[in-house]
Amino acid sequence: MATLLRLPEVATGATEAVINDWLVAERGTVAAGEPLVVIETEKASVELAAEFAAQVLRLLAAPGATVAVGAPIAVLAEPGEHVTDVDALLHSLGVAAPESAGEAAEASSEASAAGSSGSTAPGAAEGNGGPTGRVFASPLARRLLLAAGLGLSDADGTGPNGRITRRDVERAVAARSAGQLVAPPPVPPPPVPSQPALSRPALSEAASEVVEPPVSAPTRVPGAAEPAVTRIPHSTVRRAIARRLTESKRTVPHFYLKASCEVDALLALRRELNAASTERISVNDLLVKAVGRAHSLVPEMNVAWSDEALLSFGQVDVGVAVAGARGLVTPVVRAVDTRSVGAVSAEVRELSARADDGRLRQSDLEGGSITLTNLGMYGVEEFAAIINPPQAAILAVGAGRPVPAVTGGELGVRTELTAVLSVDHRCVDGALAARWMQAFHDCLAQPLALLL
C-alpha cells in the first residue's frame, strides 16, 4: 500500500531542513534500515533510514530544497507493487501533484545552478544523468563547481545515476590544474578615454595663493583585467556557525585564562603508547583525556548555563572541534573521564570521519560542558576561541615549541604549549577557572594520571 514519507523533526525544535541528497532514485527500492535521504540541519547532515522495505514512486522534494517539518518529501509503495498513475495516487493521498513534481523542482534547481556557473542547461542530451539526460549533482558539488569556475558539464559523475559528487569535482579541478581543462582567457575591458590636461592657473595680482586643480578619482589602466570576484552561496552549516557564534560573542560574558604547559613527559608517554599499540594515539587524543581528567578533579567546572538553572553534569562529555569538508562542527566524546586513552582516540577518529562524510547524527553534537579546539598542527602558537553555547568553556591549544628553562639551577630546554581557556562568567568565576587550569596543567606535566 502506498504511503507518504514526511520530513521528520531531525533536530529538537527544528521547523525546517534542507534535502541534501537522495540516495535512492525514483522507481528504485530500499530495504528496511537502509539510508534513503540525507537531510541537512543547522548542525550536520543526517541520513534518514527507511523504516520498512519500499520502492520510491516519486520524489516530492529536490536536492537543495528547504522543506518544512511534516511536509511530504516522497511517496513510497511496497516492493513489487504496481502503480500506473502516480498523480492520481498523490491526489487520493491529499497531495497536489503538479506536472512531474519532484523532477520539475530538481530540474529548476539544477538549471539555476548551471546558469550561475556558466554551464549548459542540465537537460542537454549529452549530460551524465539518467534516461532524461539531466545532470544530477549534490548541492555541495554544485557549490564547489561554482567556486572553481566550472560547470556541470566539466565533471563526470560517478555517484548513483551519474550524480556528480564532491570527489568528482575535486578530480575535475585537478584535471584543469594539470592543463586538461583550460579556462577561457578574461576579456579585457574597454579602454577608458583619457582626460584632457588641466593647465596650472596663473597667480592673481590680488592673491598670493595658487589655486590647484581638483583631484580626480584614480582611473583604471586601459587593458587591465577586472579583479575576479566569485559569489559562494552560504551553506546551512555556515549560516548556523555565523548565527550561533555571533550570538555567543554578543550575549555570553567571556573571560580568558592563559597557561604555558610543559609537555615533554606527555610526548614521551605518547611515544611509549604508540610503540605498544597498533592504533596511533595523537597528542590531541591525550589533550582530550586531560580535559576530562581536569573536569573530574574540578567537577564544579562540569556545568552549563540555562536561563532557569545551572546545569551540573555527572558525566564528563567533551566536544572536539573538527574542521571537516562541510564546515566546522563540534561532535561530543562521551564519558571521557571513565574511558581509556585508546577508547577516546578511537571515538575521536570515528567522529572526525563521520564529520567529513556528513554522517554525524544530531545526538553526536549535543551535550557537554567544554570543547577542545587545537590548531597546533598548523603551527599556531596561541589563540582564543569563542564559547559554543550552552557550554561553559572552550580550551584553545597551540603548537608545542622548545623554550629555555631553568631547572635545579641549570639552564636547559623544554617543550611548552600555550593553552587559552575561554570561560562563561555567568556560571564560572575566575578562581574556579584558575583551579581547573592548574589541574589541566598538572595533567600534562604528569601524564601517567591519564591512564588511571
Which residues are the active-site residues? 425
C-alpha to C-alpha distance for 179 and 4, rounded to whole angstroms: 49
ω into residue 79 within 30 of 0, thus cis?
Answer: no
Give the count of alpha carbons within 13 A of 2, CB side only. 22
C-alpha to C-alpha distance for 272 and 326, rounded to whole angstroms: 35
C-alpha to C-alpha distance for 97 and 101, rounded to whole angstroms: 6
C-alpha to C-alpha distance for 341 and 96, rounded to whole angstroms: 55
Neighbouring-strand partners of residue 420: 258, 396
C-alpha cell at 421: 581557556
Q: What angle do CA 149, 155, 160 make, to 5 degrees?
A: 135
C-alpha to C-alpha distance for 431 and 429, rounded to whole angstroms: 6
- Residue 166's CB is within 10 A of a number of other CB atoms, namely 19
C-alpha cell at 181: 581543462
C-alpha to C-alpha distance for 289 and 307, rounded to whole angstroms: 30
- Do the Cβ atoms of 388 and 394 come closer than 8 Å? yes
C-beta contacts of 220-228 below 8 A and 24+ residues apart = 220/189, 220/192, 222/191, 222/192, 223/188, 223/189, 223/191, 224/188, 224/189, 225/186, 225/188, 225/189, 226/186, 226/189, 228/186
Of 59, 63, 52, 49, the closest CA to residue 19 belongs to 63
C-alpha to C-alpha distance for 412 and 51, rounded to whole angstroms: 64
C-alpha to C-alpha distance for 415 and 398, rounded to whole angstroms: 12
